[in-house]
Amino acid sequence: MRVFVTGARGLLGAAVVERFRTAGMEVYGTMRQPSPPAPLSHSVGEGESPSPASRERGLGGEGYLSLDITQPAQVRAVFDALRPDLVIHCAAMTNVDACERQPQEAYRVNAFGAEVIASHCQRLGAVCVYISTDYVFDGSKRAPYHEYDAENPLSVYGRSKLAGEQAVRAFCPRHYIVRVAWLYGKQRKSFPQFVLEQARAGTSPVVISDQIGSPTYVADVADRLLQLIQTDCYGTYHLTNAEPVSRYEFACALLALAGLEIAPTPLPFRAWRTPAPRPIYSALTSWRVEWAGVAPMPSWKDALQRFWADLC
């Protein structure tokens, strides 16, 4: 199977590339084109397939193909060259506050980019996997959200990602929309590394005490994605580590694993001032993962232990 992963240098994208390559798939990862953009023909020319040698040379940088998902001509050329069977669309504008400040850019990347990717998947008969977010929900339910709960995003980020979901549903019937949340992993600095860094420097990390969610290890998402895409049960899925937890409790569990005797400083959610509103409660649960025959996601405690072991 020929797989094409957008945002392959990102936290989740890198884990997906690694997991799918380990499973023996032919995987191509893309990164955004450096600025100023080089002509696409320097990476993958229209109508030609990148040879293994060109991949080794790392045209596009570090072995990734260059692609800006908001440039329709580039997307067309890369699709025509690669002719993927499956596209895992991880690329997004993920800085929630930056999205609030630059709504047009947020919609361009998260909604229009998804429209372009989904329409080329449909044109070439590829299955489209769109990675979405817990921030499509407003948090008022105060219990884990399942796949049939109504969305009501609070922020530009959430609204632009929901617009991306809607585009994928409309443009490419053979799709999986996979909502993830509070991602962490080894691939780049994420919440656990921030907590550890502060604690190791002797500073008590300030952590929101009463925000509840589903911290999720990217290795688990990548693993279940591999199972999910083999089911042909298209539609919307929640893929997060099981059992809701507050950021504070999660940070305490991490510090205990690391043997660091420093307690985080709790900050109430209402005192957390950010440009973008966030849901106070955004834990997810999945009904559809089990129905599709995919192994349930492990608990956040189990995932955190494996992450810690991987980090050491």
289 is a site residue for ligand NAP (CB under 6 A): no
Closest CA to 73 of 39, 111, 110: 39
93 is a site residue for ligand NAP (CB under 6 A): yes
68 is a site residue for ligand NAP (CB under 6 A): yes
Q: Which stretch binds ligand NAP (CB under 6 A): 88-96, 116-124, 261-269, 280-288?
A: 88-96
Number of helices (H) and strands (E), helices first, in the chain?
12, 13
- Annotation marks residue 234 as catalytic: no
10 is a site residue for ligand NAP (CB under 6 A): yes
Residue 104 or 293: the one with the smaller Cβ distance to ligand NAP is: 104
- Whole-angstrom distance, CA of residue 55 vs CA of residue 44: 10
Residue 2: strand pairing partners: 26
- Whole-angstrom distance, CA of residue 75 vs CA of residue 116: 7
Q: Look up residue 80 and give its amino acid.
A: D
> Is the distance from CB of 227 to CB of 294 less than 8 angstroms?
yes
163 is a site residue for ligand NAP (CB under 6 A): no
DSSP state for residue 66 in the 8-state scheme: E
195 is a site residue for ligand NAP (CB under 6 A): no
Residue 89: strand pairing partners: 6, 130
Query: Minimal distance in Å, beta carbon 161 to ligand NAP?
Result: 6
Closest CA to 17 of 78, 72, 65, 67: 65
145 is a site residue for ligand NAP (CB under 6 A): no
- Whole-angstrom distance, CA of residue 179 vs CA of residue 167: 15
178 is a site residue for ligand NAP (CB under 6 A): no
129 is a site residue for ligand NAP (CB under 6 A): no
Token pair, residue 190, equals 């994420």
Tell me the H-state helices in the chain.
11-22, 52-57, 72-82, 96-101, 103-107, 113-124, 156-171, 191-200, 218-228, 247-257, 288-291, 300-311
Pairing state between β 212-213 and 206-208: unpaired
Task: Please pick, among 107, 135, 157, 217, the residue that the annotation labels catalytic.
Answer: 157
181 is a site residue for ligand NAP (CB under 6 A): yes
> Is the distance from CB of 189 to CB of 139 less than 8 angstroms?
no
Residue 56's SS3 state is: helix
Q: Which stretch binds ligand NAP (CB under 6 A): 6-14, 19-27, 142-150, 278-286?
A: 6-14
Write the interaction track for ligand NAP spanning residues 22-61; mark x where CB under 6 A is met and - where it is not. Answer: ---------xx-----------------------------
The residue sitting closest to ligand NAP, measured at its beta carbon, is: 10
168 is a site residue for ligand NAP (CB under 6 A): no
The binder of ligand NAP chosen from 112, 137, 145, 182 (CB under 6 A): 182
183 is a site residue for ligand NAP (CB under 6 A): yes
Q: Kindly list the catalytic residues.
A: 157
Question: Which stretches of the chain bind ligand NAP, using CB under 6 A?
Answer: 6-7, 9-13, 31-32, 67-70, 90-94, 109, 113, 131, 133-134, 161, 180-183, 188
